[in-house]
Amino acid sequence: MKWDEFFVTGEPMIYGAMASIVLVSLAILFCLTYFKKWGYLWREWLTTVDHKKIGIMYILSALIMLFRGGVDALMMRTQLAGPDMKFLDAQHYNEVFTTHGVIMILFMAMPFIIGLMNVVIPLQIGARDVAFPRLNAVSFWLFFAGAMLFNISFVIGGSPDAGWTAYFPLAGIELSPSVGNNFYSIALQIAGIGTLITGVNFIVTILKMRAPGMTLMRMPMFTWSVLITCVIIIFAFPVLTVALALMMFDRMFGSQFFTMADGGMDMLWANLFWVWGHPEVYIVVLPAFGIYSEIISTFSRKNLYGYKSMVVSMIAISLLSFLVWAHHFYTMGHGAMVNGFFSITTMAIAVPTGVKIFNWLFTLQKGRIEFTTPMLYSLAFIPIFTIGGVTGVMLAMASADYQYHNTMFLVAHFHYVLIPGTVFAVIAGMYYWFPKLFGFRLNERLGKLSFWIIAISFNVTFLPLFFLGLKGMTRRMYTYSESTGFGPLNLIATIGSAALAIGFAILVYNIYWSFRYQPRDTTSDPWDARTLEWATHSPVPEYNFAITPNVKSLDAFWFWKKNKQPLFEGKIEEIHMPNNNGQPFVLGVIFFFFGFFMIFSWWTPAIISGIAIVIMLAVRSFERDHGHHIPVKEINKTEQQLRGDKA
């Protein structure tokens, strides 16, 4: 391979990006050395197995990816602002919408959700950590390796350009000969393994490590949603693993799964992709439902309405999510009967979702509603998401879908589902749990300002797309002519997206501002909340709870506060904790290089790094690491300190 093929060339914007990547990396290296932070970074972060720190790293990566995906979005909107714009050429536009989709779903929404899961779940169930802390670190570093691998594609080798769905035969080696789609298959594979491990880890954590007395029906709703999500992960992600592996074989080893000759079947890819892809939507939406349930109940000062039907409806959604995949390609010509079946299953999902919406509305009833920033996002979610939901029912009707399919109507629909359904939820969750991690709240005034900008400009951006779709504008077209009449609505959408960017900028600025100026909380329960995570100190000590709580009801912490129902019984005993370890990080680095060599088909180094992975597994197998015990004296000291700080 020649060097000018290795690096992406000929695009001034890419040269700018390369230069800035090099400069930022150098600046980070310089700062780490100058402030002597290498040791700190290694000891406290790269080798950590603490679920809270891993959660923070997930969320930080998600924010960076939100920036990357957001820039992609802005580039697309700029190109579409008017007819015949020349900002991006077709190839560049195709790469941009592909990476936007992949990054937003897999490297932004997923890690943000998983980050919040990491931070909150062990605290919410009164546990000291997840079931397999070391494996949890492996999950994170595999995700991170996958994300970095995918992101370097835009300067090295070229990005994938066949859409985030990567339909064959377009994504095959014949029609996409560049390495772009190799990045897709390998980077997603590595990150996907990490996600699968997370799924196993959290099911075991939730089912086996709950505090005494916390029966399944006493679990907080967020914990329930994560449990169900992890079950979906276990059933859905292996399908992605297989699909990506077959893609890899087709592209790199000349197999004939999805090719245009020798028996290959392009429709098989679409089926495999969506058998994973549709449940994936629920993987990012169900935990969001859990987050909203916690926040709406907290700020209405009421328990969640219809707890049981909330659980039942989530289980129903998770089952139905595996029976609807073909609605993504009604137009593939499988006839009225098959389409009818999938239409009905798809519309059926509206029933449990509707139950949830009404339960939230009735949680508000007779409440004492406080409009804090997390609550504002949760409240904005209801009307906006309902638009996403009802348009989803419209799309589910096969005969009508023949007219919506592949149009901007569809694009508008899934943004109306995913942005209020997931993005608002993770932002709300970040505002809500931030004081638990850092001991102070994010600024409310800046928070509310950015909320209003985001909520309004979201609608300005995406509402016009419904009408563009009905006017016949298809998705993924990089330009349109003036005669189509698509211009004015597109311009409105572009203006909205710029405002959306400003809203997100204020959100990030708020984090910076609050770190510097926000007064520290004097209580560990600033929101007057209901669940166990608020029963321990903020910031949370390494061991979470000095004494394991004893749960006697749903919302145990609330009843402890109101009715003095005892929560922490028993004495402080020594606590067993896992040791930090550098192996997960090293494994992630090796996987990164393994993936990189695979992508470029450099077999010798790929085999060497493959052997290195096996050696890492063996090292782990032969190791005997039983963790360490924190003595009672030290726990007492920490507890006093944490209490003393607050006095």
Partner 1 sequence: MKIDNTLPLEYQTEENSNRIFGFWLFLGAEIVLFSTLFAVYFTLWTRSGNGPTAQEIFQIKPVLLETFLLLTSSFTCGLAIHSMRLSLKKPALIFFAITLLLGLGFLGIEIYEFVTYVHEGATLQTSAFLSSLFVLLGTHGAHVTLGLLWGSGLMIQIKREGFTRDTANKSFIFSLYWHFLDVVWIFIFSFVYLKGLM
Partner 2 sequence: MKKKGLLISLFAALLVLLTGCNSIAVLNPKGPVAKTQSDVIIFSMIVMAVVLLVVYVLYIYMLTKYRASKAAPDYEPPHMEGSKWLEITWTLIPVIIVIILSVVTVRSTYAVEKTPEGYESDKPLIIYASSSNWKWHFSYPEEGIETVNYVNIPTHRPVEFRLYSFGPITSFWVPQLGGQKYAMSDMVTRLHLVAEHEGSFVGKNSNFSGKGFAHMEFEVLAMSPAGYTKWIDEVKQTASELTEQEFNSLLEADHVGRKTYTSTHLTFRPAPEGEHGGHNHGAPAADSNEGTDKEMDHSKMDHSTMDHSNMDHSEMENQEADHSQHGN
Q: For residue 135, which of 617, 584, 619 has the smallest C-alpha distance? A: 584
CB of 299 to partner 2, least distance (A): 9
Which of partner 1, partner 2, none binds 340 (CB below 5-8 Å, type-dependent)?
partner 2
Please give the Cα distance from 299 to 377 (Å, whole number).
12
- Taking CB under 8 A as the criterion, the residue among 107, 164, 183, 257 binding partner 1 is 257
Please identify, using beta-carbon distances, which residue of 254 and 519 lies nearer to partner 1.
Answer: 254
265 binds partner 1 (CB under 8 A): yes
Please identify, using beta-carbon distances, which residue of 563 and 604 lies nearer to partner 2.
Answer: 563
- Taking CB under 8 A as the criterion, the residue among 16, 238, 383, 631 binding partner 1 is 238
519 binds partner 1 (CB under 8 A): no
Please identify, using beta-carbon distances, which residue of 350 and 632 lies nearer to partner 2.
Answer: 350
Please identify, using beta-carbon distances, which residue of 269 and 431 lies nearer to partner 1.
Answer: 269
Check if the beta carbon of residue 493 is closer than 8 Å to that of residue 461: yes
Q: For residue 539, which of 646, 428, 647, 427 has the smallest C-alpha distance? A: 646
Q: For residue 44, which of 587, 561, 542 has the smallest C-alpha distance? A: 542
Residues within window 547-586 making contact with partner 1, judged by CB under 8 A: 576
Please give the Cα distance from 302 to 471 (Å, whole number).
46
Tokens 């509603």 — which residue?
369
Please identify, using beta-carbon distances, which residue of 219 and 442 lies nearer to partner 1.
Answer: 219
CA distances to 374, 395, 416, 462, 490 from 388, in Å = 21, 10, 5, 11, 20
Residues within window 270-309 making contact with partner 1, judged by CB under 8 A: 272, 275
CB of 273 to partner 2, least distance (A): 11
Please identify, using beta-carbon distances, which residue of 345 and 583 lies nearer to partner 2.
Answer: 345
The angle at the Cα of 243, spanning 160 to 261, to the nearest 5 degrees, equals 80
CB-based contacts of 613, cutoff 8 Å, min separation 6: 587, 590, 591, 594
Please identify, using beta-carbon distances, which residue of 201 and 223 lies nearer to partner 1.
Answer: 201
- Taking CB under 8 A as the criterion, the residue among 82, 163, 264, 367 binding partner 1 is 264
Please identify, using beta-carbon distances, which residue of 242 and 617 lies nearer to partner 2.
Answer: 242
CB of 245 to partner 1, least distance (A): 7
The angle at the Cα of 230, spanning 226 to 232, to the nearest 5 degrees, equals 120
Please give the Cα distance from 457 to 76 (Å, whole number).
17
CB of 583 to partner 1, least distance (A): 16
Residues within window 195-224 making contact with partner 1, judged by CB under 8 A: 196, 199-201, 203-204, 207-209
For 413-477, give the secondary structure using H, E and C: HHHHHHHHHHHHHHHHHHHHHHHHHHCCCCCHHHHHHHHHHHHHHHHHHHHHHHHHHHCCCECCC
Residues within window 435-454 making contact with partner 1, judged by CB under 8 A: none
Q: Which H or E run includes 17?
A: helix 12-34
Cis amide bond preceding 169, omega within 30: yes
CB of 250 to partner 2, least distance (A): 14
The radius of gyration of the chain from alpha carbons, rounded to an integer in Å, stands at 25
635 binds partner 1 (CB under 8 A): no
CB of 630 to partner 1, least distance (A): 13
16 binds partner 1 (CB under 8 A): no
CB count, 10 Å around CB of 144?
A: 23
CB of 632 to partner 1, least distance (A): 16
CB of 547 to partner 2, least distance (A): 27
- Taking CB under 8 A as the criterion, the residue among 78, 241, 309, 406 binding partner 1 is 241
CB count, 10 Å around CB of 358?
A: 12
Residues lying near partner 1 in the complex (CB under 8 A) are found at 131-132, 196, 199-201, 203-204, 207-209, 234-235, 237-239, 241-243, 245-246, 249-250, 253-257, 259, 261-265, 268, 272, 275, 576, 614, 618, 621-622, 624, 626-627
